[in-house]
Structure 1
Amino acid sequence: MAGLLSLPDESLLMILRGLHYKDLVRVLKTCRRLRQLVPDDSLWKWQCLHYFVDNECPEGMGWYEHFMYWYLDYGKYKNYAAIRTAWNKIEKFTKEWCPSIHEYLNDGLSEDELDSIEQTLPFKLPLDFRLSYRIHNGQEMSLSTRGVLGSCTVHSFLCTECLLPFQKGMRVYNKGSLCFTMDNTAGRGQVIGCRNINNFKIGRIYHRAFEGTYDLTTRTAKCLVSGDSFKEWLCDYADKLDRGEFFVDREHIFKFYHEPSCLATSHHITVKPTTMYVPSMSRAAPPVNFFAYRIIMEMPSEAPHSQSCRLTTRHWTVTDGNGKVERVTGEGVVGQNPVMKPGSKFAWISCTTFQTDTGSMEGYFMFTNLHTGAEMRVECPRYHMRALPSEDIRLKYAPNPHAQFWPDGIVFEDNLDDESDGENEDEDYMEDYMEAQEELYGIEELDSDDELDFMDPQEAFLDPHYVDLHQDLGDPYEDLVDPHEELEGEDEEVEDENEGENDNIHGNHEVENAENNSVEGGAEEIGGEDEVEDMGDENVQ
């Protein structure tokens, strides 16, 4: 100890900077010299930055006082730095690319407000989840809200996922979890486990049970697992935003993932596939896993003009997780025959489904050279699709076998514990279920032959009344904005079909075509009848 104290103050301060703040408090009690050094501003400035992500001290306040201010308010949240950093990344991204999302993020709740909310719940909130609501109490909700958690579009189907505020829509789900997100289509979202009950795990993030996944014999339902903890789930999303893995259009965040090595270049055309799993369009029993994919083609501006060409046909090889292969061919892509020339770019979104948790696609596109008429084959690399893992969640009450969605959000006061009610258990939970139907839907009596009218999300985009709900959003693919794929050059007046630039997006399909004028003002429809070997798939484009 004497040797340590013989060091100059600067050296001692460098050593003390490596200590946790709790150890610094202990050092205060050792000797007079260290007690004089420990309150040094340089030590507590680092502590504020490291633990509370704050490098600005209010005027007239020392860094030690400033640290104590943070500690007294947030000291119980050991993951504060990770959650705050995640929200900083989300705020930065949305402020720059999605101002309407950023503007409608709600301010956080106070400790007292969260304490009052917890008193109304049958469980305590996980600390990292509670901390997130100290920072932002979800987002304001309306029909035109862009979800901060991202969107997906296929055909005329547009789904956006919002972070719910505590004052609206947040309900207990199956007695062990809390619903905290909601999409604008199927009315489903994600829940966080808050009790180790009914197979829920505290802190784990689940997508709610799918249509058709209920097993009345075992009283279980399938739920997707999207994160082992709220911290992991939020930080992963924020990191992907920060790395620019998603693209933005009309202030919607589209969460297409690109495998880093998944690129192929042929005849100066680079093909880059990206994929997205869509839980709200999927189900676990019988299994249907729905995937959207976005294909991006680009020819660099330095490519020779002699390589200018027009796409004529597509050829896909689709392989499911069991090794079953389908081959799909068709004219053009999404009803178009784009022209690729130096500096041009073209992209589109389509979809496919698998009955397995994994699958892959690969293929090629045939082009015709505009100068020589020769055929050119452009390869698309193999890209993989993987569904989220699922777990069986035990139901405490039986769903209506005719209803397509379980009526979430009902807490039965007489059956909150994990024990059965005895020999009349079947009558008890069926009575609870009937009361839930009445509370949610105003149904006084529901016979077993009655059927509730719900929208099937896999058929939703075929219903014109359903699509009308989103008309106020306008064309979601006009004026494409991609923060990490800048298109150089300005729009020029077109003199013929092979000159100028055109970014054409229509019909909830996205086409970005920086210098491609092969399609003039045409609506983007699903292109042509596909010829399918083995088993047809009209969705594959």
Structure 2
Amino acid sequence: MVFLQDCEELVLHNVLSKVGGRHAAQLSCLSKSLRNAALDDSIWASFCLADFGISAPLDHHGNPSPSFKAAYKTWQESFHMYPLPLVRRVKSCWDAIKSWASENFPELLSTLQRGASESEINEMEQRMEVKFPLATRIIYRFVNGQEIKDFDFFENEQLASLGLIGGYSFYDHSVNVHLLPLSEIFRKTMQLAFLFPSNKQKCVVMAASCHLNKFFFLDCSNSQLYVGTGNLASGEMMPCVPKELVQAVPNQQDALLLWLEEYGRHLHKGMYRVRKEQNIKRISLYPETSPLCTTAITNGVQVRASAVFVPENSDLQSEADKYFFSYSIRMRLISQGNILDGTCLTSCQLYSRHWIFRANGTVVSDISDKAVIGKYPLLYVDGEEFVYESCTNQLSSSGSAEGAFTFVPGSLRSPKGRPFDAEIAQFPVSLPEYIF
């Protein structure tokens, strides 16, 4: 009798484990035996992992639940109106971004707001007379953007640097993009409503830079994400995600989710890194990995170079220079190969530069001049990297740059040998597939 009872419990356990969490909850109401079998928390642990990707009994805000069964119930009640694969996909996207931030930029985590409720999202949709794509709704159920205080006037540069999407700076142009909370989405969209007077496009502002010169718009009618150009006042925008990807799986993804997923992959691959400048940390969008970032070493002088597309300064209506780019050059003197004419270099100073820019393989600019941004950096062995950013624009969306820096061993005041050229390996200056 005991053996038969054990067999029955095993059979019921196997049945429940195979039907999934939603059906298991329904079956547990049919009999006492099924209800007892459903008390086994290991079954619900497997359901939590399979349906929601959680390996600990937590709700979607990260709060602990008394059991996996209770956790599953909470998740089910919170997301029953959405396809479970899409919920898990959004959760994985946020997990990837948060895990990277936890290891590399923990200050960023404190700016991510608790997820919005269904009623809060519904209320916002009614106020704005739009319907968010499913994926966007789930994104905001997990994280309601970033906490922003006085967004229009970022007097605290430390706060301004905490943009989730990061940015770049060159000369007096500084960008750092924050993912907006629902309240700021409404406010910024209303402020920029003049861009869409026909109301044919259901565009809402999803992200913006700290100094309000870079905006990202989600078109709720076609699920595409756009970024404003230098002609934003005329309504000019560019798609941020390849159109074919947005349309590949209707109702199961949108451009905002694809954009955040790709961004998370870039972070984990080391494409974008946290840079510290004058004691201020921020995510830099200048690429750090090959092939978008190139590295050359000449007589111990290491030069790393990469470029980023700057949409807010681009003019797609221009007949000459449509596409605007900023490039970042990082140079230092390393101990590896720092030999010139048989002598070990302990220092060297930059004297001049030679740049060659190409568009579609054709040379469009050949420049030689002294210094870089008016400076003559002096490099020491294994010393700090000298970094400078500049900019260029071109008619073509596809181009490249290369060249050389002329260095004097020792220093300009006290040369220790003949000048030499340090290579700048060719790096792409091209429109990216995804625009961040």
TM bin, normalised by shorter chain, reads 0.7 to 0.9
Which TM-score applies when normalising by structure 1?
0.60
How has the CA–CA distance of structure 1 residues 107 and 291 changed in structure 2, closer, same or farther, with 3 Å as cutoff? same
Aligned to 2:165: 149
Q: CA offsets, 1:11-58, max 9 Å, x none? A: 998998787646767998999999876664333223323433433226
Pick aligned residue for 2:237 from 219, 223, 244: 223
Aligned to 1:335: 374
Aligned to 1:178: 204
Which TM-score applies when normalising by structure 2?
0.73
**How much does 1:138 deviate?**
2.2
- Is residue 179–residue 191 contact of structure 1 (8 Å, CA) maintained in 2? yes
- Is residue 310–residue 340 contact of structure 1 (8 Å, CA) maintained in 2? yes
Q: Aligned-pair RMSD on alpha carbons? A: 3.6
Aligned to 1:307: 345
CA distance in structure 2 between the aligned counterparts of 1:38 and 1:246, rounded to whole angstroms: 47
1:247 aligns with 2:239: no
Pick aligned residue for 1:325 from 354, 364, 369: 364
- 3-state SS, counterpart of residue 46 of structure 1: helix
CA distance in structure 2 between the aligned counterparts of 1:27 and 1:383, rounded to whole angstroms: 61
- 3-state SS, counterpart of residue 349 of structure 1: strand
CA distance in structure 2 between the aligned counterparts of 1:291 and 1:12, rounded to whole angstroms: 63
- Is residue 259–residue 383 contact of structure 1 (8 Å, CA) maintained in 2? no
1:120 aligns with 2:127: yes
How has the CA–CA distance of structure 1 residues 18 and 209 changed in structure 2, closer, same or farther, with 3 Å as cutoff? farther
Aligned to 1:379: 423
- Is residue 177–residue 194 contact of structure 1 (8 Å, CA) maintained in 2? yes
Aligned to 1:235: 261
- Is residue 114–residue 144 contact of structure 2 (8 Å, CA) maintained in 1? yes
**How much does 1:73 deviate?**
0.4
1:163 aligns with 2:179: yes
CA distance in structure 1 between the aligned counterparts of 2:265 and 2:106, rounded to whole angstroms: 19
How has the CA–CA distance of structure 1 residues 13 and 272 changed in structure 2, closer, same or farther, with 3 Å as cutoff? farther
How has the CA–CA distance of structure 1 residues 122 and 271 changed in structure 2, closer, same or farther, with 3 Å as cutoff? same
Aligned to 1:356: 396
Pick aligned residue for 1:192 from 190, 206, 218: 218
1:74 aligns with 2:106: no
CA distance in structure 2 between the aligned counterparts of 1:180 and 1:80, rounded to whole angstroms: 20
How has the CA–CA distance of structure 1 residues 327 and 187 changed in structure 2, closer, same or farther, with 3 Å as cutoff? closer
- 3-state SS, counterpart of residue 240 of structure 2: strand
Pick aligned residue for 1:275 from 272, 284, 307: 307
Q: How many pairs align? A: 373
- 3-state SS, counterpart of residue 217 of structure 2: strand
Name the aligned partner's letter for residue 364 of structure 2.
V
**How much does 1:10 deviate?**
8.8
CA distance in structure 1 between the aligned counterparts of 2:334 and 2:365, rounded to whole angstroms: 33
Segment of structure 1 superposing worse, 14-23 or 46-55 = 14-23
Q: Report percent identity of matched pairs.
A: 21
Aligned to 1:285: 317
CA distance in structure 1 between the aligned counterparts of 2:326 and 2:44, rounded to whole angstroms: 49
The structure where helix makes up a greater share of residues is 2
Aligned to 1:137: 144
Q: Map residues 444-463 of structure 1 onto 2, 5 A cutoff.
A: none
CA distance in structure 2 between the aligned counterparts of 1:212 and 1:72, rounded to whole angstroms: 42
CA distance in structure 2 between the aligned counterparts of 1:362 and 1:242, rounded to whole angstroms: 28
Aligned to 1:65: 70
- 3-state SS, counterpart of residue 236 of structure 1: helix
- Is residue 148–residue 163 contact of structure 1 (8 Å, CA) maintained in 2? yes
CA distance in structure 2 between the aligned counterparts of 1:60 and 1:133, rounded to whole angstroms: 22
Aligned to 1:56: 56
Name the aligned partner's letter for residue 226 of structure 1.
C
1:367 aligns with 2:399: no
- Is residue 258–residue 275 contact of structure 1 (8 Å, CA) maintained in 2? no
CA distance in structure 1 between the aligned counterparts of 2:283 and 2:53, rounded to whole angstroms: 26
CA distance in structure 1 between the aligned counterparts of 2:127 and 2:290, rounded to whole angstroms: 46
How has the CA–CA distance of structure 1 residues 288 and 8 changed in structure 2, closer, same or farther, with 3 Å as cutoff? farther
- 3-state SS, counterpart of residue 407 of structure 2: strand
Pick aligned residue for 1:346 from 386, 398, 416: 386
- 3-state SS, counterpart of residue 138 of structure 1: strand
How has the CA–CA distance of structure 1 residues 129 and 314 changed in structure 2, closer, same or farther, with 3 Å as cutoff? same
Q: Which runs of 5+ in 2 are unaligned?
A: 1-5, 59-63, 247-254
- Is residue 360–residue 382 contact of structure 1 (8 Å, CA) maintained in 2? yes
Segment of structure 1 superposing worse, 49-58 or 346-355 = 49-58
